[in-house]
Amino acid sequence: MSTHDAPTIHLTEVGESGDRVVLLHGLFGQGRNFTQIAKALVPDLHSVLVDLPNHGRSAWTEELGYEEVAARVATVLGERYADQGRFHLVGHSMGGKVAMVLALRHPELVERLVVVDIAPAVSEGAGEFEHLLDSLASLDLTTLRRRGEADEQLAGLIDDERVRGFLLQNLRSASGDGGGFRWQANLELLRRDLEVIGGFPEIDASFDRPVLWVAGERSPYIRPEHDAAMRRLFPKVRSVTVKGAGHWVHSEKPEAFVTILRAFLRG
């Protein structure tokens, strides 16, 4: 595994052989959320894990829009990999919307696209994410002495221990800044632009290469009324539903997800 830094986007590579596949995480996530998936794809595929802007080790921005984010990601990936041919692109949730826009706006970069549990439409459930953001913002980082205190305080607001652990991966020690803790994700911007994150831009284009649309059986994010928009933008789309999975398909059903990815991306 090797790590590279760019001015705006942080990338981590896993594997050294096979076709290149770029993986984009969802809201509150980081590229490393796909580490186990990427390792399971070795040696068939060479993965690139991306920290999207305002997340992980990538730079923060003043604005947050899918076309702007997709352009930033495309610029970095194009500069690094364009001379090596097209790459496969996989995106989950918010990362799935970035992936769709990138494929539509920069089709010369993308060979095959996988969109995981999201649609090219306004997403329901913004209230849940607003609650999560408000819960994180309620923590007074100046008084925290240890990470466990953050989890204890959030327990009264967020029941699910796994969700709290996922969110708190964004809490980092600020030892270099006089001690204490800081948020690695740009929570203020994410809260301000949550409506943008939940939406999808109007794009008059189509991506005419193979696309796989992966849904979690127990997730509400892909619905029958989304089918027409998906097929208009991606004429060669086919769908698969992962039984027993909710929204976080790749973490809830990793073996099934890896099998699906390997089969589709290897053609």
The last residue of one of the domains, among 176, 192, 208, is 192
Q: How confident is the model at residue 251 (pLDDT cuts 50, 70, 90)?
A: very high
148 pLDDT more than 50: yes
Half-sphere exposure of 155 (CA within 13 A, CB side): 8
**Does residue 64 or residue 2 have the better pLDDT?**
64
Handedness of CA 216, 222, 225, 226 (dihedral sign): negative
Number of domains in the chain: 2
Q: How confident is the model at residue 139 (pLDDT cuts 50, 70, 90)?
A: very high
Across all residues in the chain, what is the average pLDDT?
92
Task: Look up residue 258 and give its two tokens.
Answer: 């890896």
- Residue in 52, 19, 20, 23 with CA at minimum distance from that of residue 36: 23
Residues 161, 159: Cα–Cα separation, whole Å? 6
Residues 41, 120: Cα–Cα separation, whole Å? 27
Q: Are residues 57 and 150 in the same domain?
A: no
Q: Are residues 110 and 54 in the same domain?
A: yes
Q: Are residues 17 and 102 in the same domain?
A: yes
Over range 39-54, report the average pLDDT. 97
Q: Are residues 175 and 253 in the same domain?
A: no
Over range 80-97, report the average pLDDT. 94
Distance (Å) of CA 265 to CA 26, 43, 114, 184, 194? 20, 13, 9, 32, 32
Which structural domain, as residue segments, surrounds residue 229?
2-123+199-265
Q: Are residues 34 and 85 in the same domain?
A: yes
Q: In this structure, are residues 115 and 91 in contact, taking their beta carbons and an 8 Å threshold?
A: yes
Over range 71-86, report the average pLDDT. 92
Residue-level pLDDT at 266: 87
**Known catalytic residues?**
93, 188, 247
DSSP 156: T
Over range 170-195, report the average pLDDT. 85
158 pLDDT more than 90: yes
Over range 38-60, report the average pLDDT. 96
Over range 166-185, report the average pLDDT. 82
Lowest mean per-residue pLDDT among 32-36, 81-85, 190-194, 209-213: 81-85
Q: pLDDT over 70 for what percent of the chain?
A: 94
Q: Give per-residue burial for 183-209: e unless 16+ CB within 10 Å, then b.
A: bbbbbebbbebbebbbbbbeeeeebee
Residue-level pLDDT at 253: 96
Residue-level pLDDT at 174: 75
3 pLDDT more than 70: no
129 pLDDT more than 90: no
Q: Are residues 133 and 101 in the same domain?
A: no
Residue-level pLDDT at 179: 63
Q: How confident is the model at residue 145 (pLDDT cuts 50, 70, 90)?
A: confident
Angle between helices 161-168 and 126-137 in degrees, nearest 10: 60
Residue-level pLDDT at 63: 87
- Residue in 197, 64, 192 with CA at minimum distance from that of residue 126: 197
Q: Are residues 224 and 188 in the same domain?
A: no
Residues 37, 74: Cα–Cα separation, whole Å? 22
Q: In this structure, are residues 106 and 75 in contact, taking their beta carbons and an 8 Å threshold?
A: no
The last residue of one of the domains, among 141, 172, 192, is 192
The last residue of one of the domains, among 142, 169, 192, is 192
Q: pLDDT over 90 for what percent of the chain?
A: 83
Residue-level pLDDT at 177: 54
106 pLDDT more than 80: yes
Lowest mean per-residue pLDDT among 20-34, 92-106, 115-129, 210-224: 115-129
Task: Look up residue 245 and give its two tokens.
Answer: 């999975």
What's the angle, vertex CA 122, arms to CA 118 and CA 128, rounded to 5?
80
CATH number of the domain that 223 lies in?
A: 3.40.50.1820
Over range 150-158, report the average pLDDT. 93
Q: Are residues 35 and 59 in the same domain?
A: yes
Q: Are residues 218 and 101 in the same domain?
A: yes
